A and B are shown apart, each in its own frame.
Chain A
Amino acid sequence: MKRKSDKPIKITEVCLRDGSHVMLHQYTEEQVRRVARELDDAGMHYIEVSHGDGLGGSTLQYGKSLVDEMKLIEAAVDECQNSKVAVLLIPGIGTVHELKQAHELGASLVRVATHVTEADVSAQHISMARELGMETLGFLMMAHMAPPEKLVEQAKLMESYGAQAVYVTDSAGALLPHEVKERIAALRDSISIEVGFHAHNNLSLAVANSLAAIEEGATRIDGSIRCLGAGAGNAQTEVLLSVLNRMGVDLGIDIYKMMDLAEHTVGPMIPRPQEINRGSLVLGYAGVYSSFLLHAERAGQRFGIDSRDILIELGKKKVVGGQEDMILDVAAELAKARKLEV
C-alpha cells in the first residue's frame, strides 16, 4: 500500500464510546471490562471509553448512563496491560473537571471535539490536557459541512493550542471518498502534526474512506468492532484490519482475536444488527449527526411521523452535533403541520 506518511498508523477502537449511543448508554461495568480485556489481548492501540457524547454527556438531552463513565474508564484502565485508554471531551458538554478526573483514573489520551467551524472553544481544554501530560488530539466534527480551506484554518487553531493530531471527523457518514482525500491532503500539506480520520458507515463507505485517508497520509484511524457506533457504526475494525493486512500493512493487532471478539463478545451484546437501515442511510444522505438516529426513531413513534422526515428536516436546518433537542422540536412541529393539513 502506498502511503503519503511514513509514521505508523494507530488505531482507536471506539465501540465503548461511539457504541454507547447504540447501547443507549446502558453499558455495564462487566461488558466494558470484557471488551477492554479482549481488545488489549488482541493488541489494540487505543480504546476510547466515555459516554457517547463525551465526558459529562450523561444527560436528559443525550441519554443518562446506566453506570457512571468514570467507573467504566477506571474498569477499562484496570483491564489493559498495553492498550491505552482514551476519552472524548466536547467543550460545552464536558469540562476540564471531568477531564482531570478521567486522567487521574488512568486515561492517557483525550480527543477534544468541536463542530468543524468552532475550534476556538477547545483552547482551554487542549492546553489543560497537555499540562496534565495527556496525549491530546483535536476532533473536527461534521467535517462534511465545511470546505477544505475552512478545515485547514480550524485545524491550525487546534495545532496552535497544542493538539498533537487533528481528525477529519465524518460524524454524519456523509463524505465521499474524493472528499475525504481532499480534506486529508489539505491538512497534511498545511499542518505539521498528525492527521486522523473518523468514519461512519451510513453510506457504506467507512472502510473505503478510511483507506483513502490512510493513502493520503492519515495515521490516526478510528474503528468500531462489529460497527458498534452511532448510526450504521464506524469503519468496522476487524474488517479494516483484515483489508489493511491484505494490502501488506500489519499493525500488530491480532486479526483472529478481533474476529473472535466481534463474534462472541460484541455480537451478542448489540441490541439489533448494525446494518445500514433506511434511518442510517438517510443520516449519510442528508448529512445528519449519526447519534440522532435512535432519538429520531423514538420521536417519530411518539408523534406518529416517519423518522426520515425528521432527519431530512434536521439536515435542512443545518443542525450540528449535540442538538438532540431539535429532534423533539422538529417532530412536534411536523406533527402540528400534518394536523393542520388534515
Chain B
Amino acid sequence: MAKIKAAIIGSGNIGTDLMYKLERSEVIELTAMIGIDPESDGLKRAKERGYLAFDNGIQALMDNPDIADIVFDATSAKTHVRHAKVLAEMGKLAIDLTPAARGPFVSPAVKTDTYLDEKNLNMITCGGQATIPIVHAINSAADVSYAEIVATISSKSAGPGTRANIDEFTLTTRRGIEEVGGADQGKALIILNPAEPPILMRDTIYCEVKNMDEASITKSIEQMVETVKQYVPGYRLKQEPLFDGNKVTVFIEVEGAGDYFPIYAGNLDIMTAAATRVAEDFAVHMLEKQSVESKG
C-alpha cells in the first residue's frame, strides 16, 4: 500500500517517541529525523533504525524537499515560529507539537469540518489532549458553561521545557478547553507528583453544565473514551462519572504505550499518539486524492 512520507524535526524525547509511533503506521512512511545535535540519542536511534538522520536542522529539509510531505515539529515554541514560515513556503503540512500555536488547536478525537483544509496544526498540550475530548463529549450532551481540568503527572515525566514555562501549559490548555472542547469558560491546573514509583498520568475533569442529563452525558463520555482509546490504548476512565447538581466529575488515567518513554509518562505518550493520528487522517486524505487524480 502507498504511504505518505514524513519527517520529524527535533530529536529530543518527544521526537524520538514519535519515531516509534510512526514506525507502526500503515499510511505514513517516516523517512528522516532532523536534529541539531549529532550526539543526541534520538538521531543515533534514527540512524540505527535506517532513517536518514540530519544534524543541520530545517536546512536539511530545504536541501532535500522531497523527503517529506508531512513534517512533525518537536522542537520548541520559539523555533517553530521560524519553522512554520519555512514549512508554509515549502507547502508542507506542519504538525506542531510545541506550544507555539501558529495554526489552530486540534485533537484527533474532536474533528471539525474544515480540519483537513489546514496546513499547520497545533497539538495543544498533553493535559489538553487528555481532557479536551471529555469536555467536548460532555458539551455535546449537556452544553458546558464551565470546564476545569486538573492534570497530575509524575515529576519524572515533566521535562525542562514544561518546568521553565508552566504558565504556558495552563494558559494554552485553558484556551483549548474553550476553543476545541466547547466550554464557555475554561481553567486548567497542573500538578507534579514526585512519588516513587512514578504515578501514571491522571486527569480530573470538572464540568458545570446547562442541561443536566446523566444518562446521555455518561454515554457520550464512554463513546469518547473508546474514540481516544483507538490511538491511546492506555486511556481509561478511572471511576464512573460522578454527578452532583449541575456538576459532572470525570477521572481519567493515561498509561503510555512504553515506546521511548516508560508507561507512566502517559502525558508524553498521548501527545505523540495524537500527533500520529492527526497525520494519519491527513495521509489517508492525501492518498485518496492521489488515487482520484491518477484515475482521472
Asked if residues B194 and A115 are in contact (CB atoms below 8 Å), the reply is: yes
CB distance from A219 to the nearest CB of B (A): 28
Q: Are B204 and A325 in contact (CB under 8 A)?
A: yes
**Which chain A residues border B194 with CB–CB below 8 Å?**
115, 117-118, 320
Contact with B along A108-133 (1 / 0, CB 8 A): 00000001011011011100000000
Instruction: Give, as a whole number of angstroms, the nearest-CB distance from A269 to chain B.
Output: 27
Q: How many residues of A contact B (CB 8 A)?
A: 29
Task: Give CA–CA (A328, B250) in the complex, Å.
Answer: 11
Asked if B191 contacts A323 (CB within 8 A), the reply is yes
A207 and B50 alpha carbons, distance in the complex (Å):
66
Give every chain A residue within 8 A of B152 (Cβ-Cβ): 323, 325-326
| B44 close to chain A: CB less than 8 A | no
Interface membership of B5, Cβ < 8 A: no
Residue of A nearest to B187 (CB): A59
| With A60-B206, A118-B192: A91-B239 Cβ-Cβ less than 8 Å | no
Residue B52 interfacial (CB < 8 Å): no
Which residues of chain A are near B251, meaning CB under 8 Å?
325, 328-329
Please give me the residue from chain A that is nearest to B152 by CB atom.
A323
Q: B24 to chain A: which residues have CB within 8 Å?
A: none
A115: chain B residues within 8 A (beta carbon): 192-194
Which residues of chain B are near A106, meaning CB under 8 Å? none
Contacts of A123 in B (CB 8 A): 163-164
Q: Tell me whether B206 and A92 are in contact (CB under 8 A).
A: no
Is B195 part of the contact surface with A, judged by Cβ < 8 Å? yes
Contact of B239 among A97, A117, A319, A333 (CB under 8 A): A333
Do B204 and A61 touch across chains, with their CB atoms under 8 A apart? yes
Q: Which residues does chain B contribute within 8 Å of A317, judged by CB atoms?
A: 195
Q: Which of B146, B165, B242 contacts A332 (CB 8 A)?
A: B242
Q: Does A95 contact B (CB under 8 A)?
A: yes
Residues in B159-177 with C-beta less than 8 Å from chain A: 160, 163-167, 169-171
B140 in the interface (beta carbon within 8 A): no
In the bound complex, how far is the Cα of B170 from the Cα of A319, in angstroms? 21
Chain A residues whose CB sits within 8 angstroms of the CB of B148 once the complex forms: 59-61
Count of A-B contacts judged by CB separation below 8 Å: 84
* Chain A residue at smallest Cβ distance from B167: A95
- Contact A92:B242 (CB < 8 A) given known A59-B187, A123-B164, A323-B152: no
Verify if B189 is at the interface (C-beta below 8 Å from A).
Answer: yes
The size bracket of the interface on B is: 20 to 34
Q: A60-B148, A325-B150 are in contact. Are A121 and B166 (CB under 8 A)?
A: yes
CB neighbours of B191 from chain A (8 A):
92, 320, 322-323
Distance in angstroms between the alpha carbons of A318 and B239 in the assembled complex: 20
Q: Is the CB of B238 within 8 A of A92?
A: no
A96 to B171: give the CA distance in the assembly, Å. 11
Q: For residue A249, which residues in chain B have a CB less than 8 angstroms away from its CB?
A: none
Within 8 A of A (CB), among B119-174: 146, 148, 150, 152, 155, 160, 163-167, 169-171
Q: Does B101 lie at the interface of the complex (its beta carbon under 8 Å from any beta carbon of A)?
A: no
Chain B contacts of A323 at CB under 8 A?
A: 150, 152, 191, 193
- Please, how many angstroms separate the alpha-carbon atoms of A12 and B264 in the complex? 40
Bound Cα distance from A145 to B150, whole angstroms: 22
Q: Is B284 in the interface zone, CB < 8 Å from A?
A: no
List the A side residues contacting B165 at CB < 8 Å.
124
Taking CB atoms, residues of chain A closer than 8 Å to B146 are: 60
B40 contacts chain A at the CB level, 8 A cutoff: no
Q: In the docked arrangement, what's the CA distance between A61 and B191, Å?
A: 12
Contact with A329, one of B189, B208, B238 (Cβ below 8 angstroms): B238
Do B166 and A124 have beta carbons less than 8 Å apart? yes
- Pick from A59, A60, A97, A319: contact of B193, CB under 8 Å: A319
> Could you tell me if B195 and A92 are in contact, using CB atoms closer than 8 angstroms?
no
- List B contacts of A318 (CB < 8 A): 193, 195
Is residue B249 contacting chain A, with contact meaning CB distance below 8 A?
yes
Given contact pairs A318-B193, A319-B193, A325-B204, A60 touches B166 in the complex (Cβ within 8 A): no
List A residues 289-342 near B (Cβ within 8 Å). Answer: 317-320, 322-323, 325-326, 328-329, 332-333
Q: List 6 A-B contacts (CB under 8 A).
A: A59-B187, A59-B189, A91-B166, A124-B165, A323-B193, A329-B239
| A contact set with B: CB distance below 8 Å | 59-61, 91-93, 95-97, 115, 117-118, 120-121, 123-125, 317-320, 322-323, 325-326, 328-329, 332-333
Closest 3 CB pairs of A and B: A325-B204, A318-B195, A60-B206
